[in-house]
Amino acid sequence: MKRSILSIAVIALISISIFIQLFIGTSHELGLATVQASEQNRPCPRYGGVLVIGRTDDSATLNPLLTIDDASFEVANQIFNSLIERAFVDGQLGYKGDLAEEWNVSPDGMTLYFKLVRNATWHDGYPLTAEDVKFTLELYLKESLPQSAFFRVIDHVETPDNYTVIIKLKQPSPTFVPLALAFWRNHMIIPKHLYEGTNITTNPYNLKPIGSGPFKFVEWKKGDYILLERNENYFKAGLPCLDKIIFKVFPNTEAMLKALSTGEVGVVTIVPEPNLEEAKSMPGVKLFPIFTGLGLVLYIGINTQKYPLNIKEVRQALNYAINKEEIIKLALGNVGRPQRGIFSSELGPFHDPTVGYDYDPDKANQILDSLGFKRGPDGIRVTPNGTRLSFRLFFTAADLPRMRASEIVKEQFKKIGVEIIPQSYDWPTLKEMITVKYDFDLVWFGHATGPDPDRLYVYYHGSQIRPGSWNYVRYNNSEVNKLWDLSRTIVDQNKRAEIFRQIERIAMEDAPVIPVQERVLYAAYREEFQGFPPGPYWYANHLETIWWTKGSIRSPAESRSLILNASNTLTKISSMISSDVLDKIRSLIEQANQSYREGNYDRAYELASQALSQIESATKTPTPTPQTTPTEIIKTPTPTEKVSEKPGPDYTLLIAIAVIVIIVIALASYIVMRRRR
């Protein structure tokens, strides 16, 4: 008897085990576990939403090869792609592929090989190929572009097929990858079919760009906003997370920060130093440091070709007259450190900490006295030829910290008999005045001095003096030029460091600038947006992984796929159902389309599911597998990400399994009973 019971129990356990295994396998087969797995693997926790980015400057151009200001390249970099880009790799600053899925460098450092992704397209539908890459790289060699100096090491570019790029260099270069191919600007690829045979500086697509990046250009209302929308055909599956990005221009810092506090904007690219505490106190707002390790500096550029600023001793006197600590404390939020040379101390051995000028107004007065610059009745010095030492000090409009700093400099320079007249202009106007017309005396300016000091080649090498370039101070020292050229032929970092220390010593003796501050900058964002920072270069990196916490769990592709499935299925069976039911299902599909257009992808998916359920009920047949072929319901093309939607579960197989289990148990009982007889 006990054996019989034991046999029944064993058979039952085996049957139940088989049932569980079959059920789990069947549930996967029916798609019950598919959604959970896909959510775990998708790149975006949620989809949809509009990110408004607050700033106080408008863009000048959206051609990534021409952008020389943050306000321009922060937009252009969302529209275009590069071969590779700077990224955090295992917590360290490194590189990752963008358009390149594979790349390597030959042992001698003379050849770089790139394999491109095969599914990248321009926003107008044209395929992106190796010819676009070659065309872009060769433009740097043919044209005088802002970053051309870093590409001059290229000997030639080969394209053995549509997706292979081979770059041959003239010599090994320690700076070609970090400062040309993977810089934070001027490294994107532009479309050959839209720029070939045109003037790159006047091509109309500079203002209405066609790129390949995560976001497409929609509209630019000058002085107000630039609108970008999600690229549905982006070659990186499941990206971007956001639907739209709006770069909103505000008249001043106060208005921008107020918009951040009220939620009108989701992120502020840079919080001015004096406003850090204000931003920290805002509910729902977080700050994070930006551009760390890149050696950000703030200084006053001097027009070295304008009398009497073309006199080295005058420039030295101005350096002695600046009290950097006072400016940083009273105008610049009391953050960062005094800057001593043209390179930041964050560059380590490339910077000479002994260079620079200590605050010494007595020394400044002695220098000016020795030059014969006498004080006039108003206390302002006059040169022997009658020129007053009165200088305009420019800064960008709405830049409150620089406005305050200018007033402090004005008082400091009074002590040495120099008059300062602060003047502000919008950025496009200011940029033209200092880099094209050279119509300035002194100007507040700031930039990074890393990740490699060669990054300042365009600011201090004599070959870079030309309208539109960044050597706006027109500094030209033959010894500095020779040393800088030598540094570009040396790979050994210790030897390069010694060369750059020599360059810094010579440059600071010439004093083409007045160093003020080594900066520590912060951005601020509302917590409903996540994913900050997207990379080491902040807004210069793609914002494709930034996501909205109030967005949809379903991706746009998932929702669209199910809508298309419902639409295609309804077309096939429309003659089999009544007109009333047909109208109801069509209404559901149209509502799903409307929700999709509004960016509510969860609701769109739910409505499409309801439509499919009603189709199944009306026809009493299983729902077909979703189709991904576009129809007239959705006008946008299907992106490269492939989503397979499973139909609702069919319990027929489960019932059959249950019946089998019951039969097995019954047979086991029957066998036991016969043995007992």
Q: What is the CA radius of gyration of the chain?
A: 33
Band of residue 624 on the pLDDT scale cut at 50, 70, 90:
low
Q: Output the pLDDT for position 400.
A: 86
Strands 296-302 and 442-448: antiparallel
Residue 286 reports pLDDT greater than 70: yes
Residues in the chain, how many? 677
Q: Output the pLDDT for position 656.
A: 55
| Range 584-599 average pLDDT | 96
Task: Residue 538: name the closest of 335, 344, 295, 292 by CA.
Answer: 292
93 forms beta bridges with 88
| C-alpha span between 570 and 99 (Å, rounded) | 40
Looking at mean pLDDT, say which of 21-25, 32-36, 39-43, 533-537 comes out highest: 533-537
| C-alpha span between 442 and 491 (Å, rounded) | 36
| C-alpha span between 332 and 334 (Å, rounded) | 6
What's 191-217 look like in SS3? Answer: CHHHHCCCCCCCCHHHCCCCCCCCEEE
Per-residue buried b or exposed e for 564-596, using 16+ beta carbons within 10 Å of the residue's own CB: bbbbbbbeebeeebeeebbeebeebbebbbebb
Q: Output the pLDDT for position 44.
A: 97
Domains 81-212 and 296-518 fall in the same CATH topology: no
Q: With contact defined as beta carbons under 8 Å apart, do 48 and 548 qualify?
A: yes
Query: How far from 349 is each of 279, 395, 514, CA to CA, in Å?
Result: 35, 32, 22
Per-residue pLDDT tens for 210-220? 999 999 999 99
Q: Output the pLDDT for position 619.
A: 86
Strands 267-271 and 285-290: unpaired
Tokens 């890393």, residue? 450
Q: Output the pLDDT for position 588.
A: 96
Per-residue pLDDT tens for 536-546? 889 889 999 99
Give residue limits of the domains in the chain: 23-46+550-652, 81-212, 296-518
Which class does domain 296-518 fall in? alpha beta
Q: With contact defined as beta carbons under 8 Å apart, do 282 and 259 qualify?
A: no
Quote the mean pLDDT of the chain: 88
Terminal-residue alpha carbon distance, the chain: 12
| Range 118-127 average pLDDT | 98
Phi and psi (nearest 5°) for 418?
Answer: -120, 130
Q: Output the pLDDT for position 660.
A: 62
> Could you tell me what percent of the chain has a pLDDT over 70?
86
Per-residue pLDDT tens for 406-427? 999 999 999 999 999 999 999 8
User: What order do you get walking across the sheet with 513-518 strand by strand?
Assistant: 337-338, 513-518, 296-302, 442-448, 390-396, 419-425
Q: Output the pLDDT for position 670.
A: 57
Q: Output the pLDDT for position 441.
A: 98
Which phi-psi region, left, alpha or beta, contains residue 413 (left: φ > 0; alpha: ψ -120 to 50)? alpha
| C-alpha span between 488 and 625 (Å, rounded) | 60
| C-alpha span between 630 and 628 (Å, rounded) | 6
Q: Output the pLDDT for position 53.
A: 98
Which phi-psi region, left, alpha or beta, contains residue 386 (left: φ > 0; alpha: ψ -120 to 50)? left
Band of residue 32 on the pLDDT scale cut at 50, 70, 90:
very low
Per-residue pLDDT tens for 540-565? 899 999 999 999 999 999 999 999 99
pLDDT greater at residue 23 or residue 72: 72
pLDDT greater at residue 620 or residue 58: 58
Residue 137 reports pLDDT greater than 50: yes
Residue 335 reports pLDDT greater than 60: yes
Q: Output the pLDDT for position 79.
A: 98
| Range 232-255 average pLDDT | 96
Q: Output the pLDDT for position 451.
A: 87
CATH of 81-212, one of 3.30.565.10, 1.20.1250.20, 3.20.20.110, 3.90.76.10: 3.90.76.10
| Range 94-120 average pLDDT | 96
Residue 66 reports pLDDT greater than 60: yes
Q: Output the pLDDT for position 184.
A: 81
Contacts of 377 (CB under 8 A, 6+ apart): none
Per-residue pLDDT tens for 359-381? 999 999 999 999 999 999 999 99
pLDDT greater at residue 612 or residue 14: 612
3-state secondary structure at position 165: strand
Distance of CA 151 to the CA centre of its chain: 22
Residue 102 reports pLDDT greater than 70: yes
Query: How far from 314 is each of 122, 309, 369, 477, 503, CA to CA, in Å?
Result: 53, 6, 10, 17, 21
Q: Output the pLDDT for position 42.
A: 82
| Range 150-166 average pLDDT | 97
Contacts of 24 (CB under 8 A, 6+ apart): none
E runs forming strands in 5-153: 50-55, 84-89, 92-97, 100-105, 111-116
| Range 20-48 average pLDDT | 51
Residue 455 DSSP code:
G
| C-alpha span between 494 and 633 (Å, rounded) | 63
3-state secondary structure at position 186: coil
Within 415-548, where are the H helices? 427-435, 457-460, 478-487, 493-510
Band of residue 645 on the pLDDT scale cut at 50, 70, 90:
very low
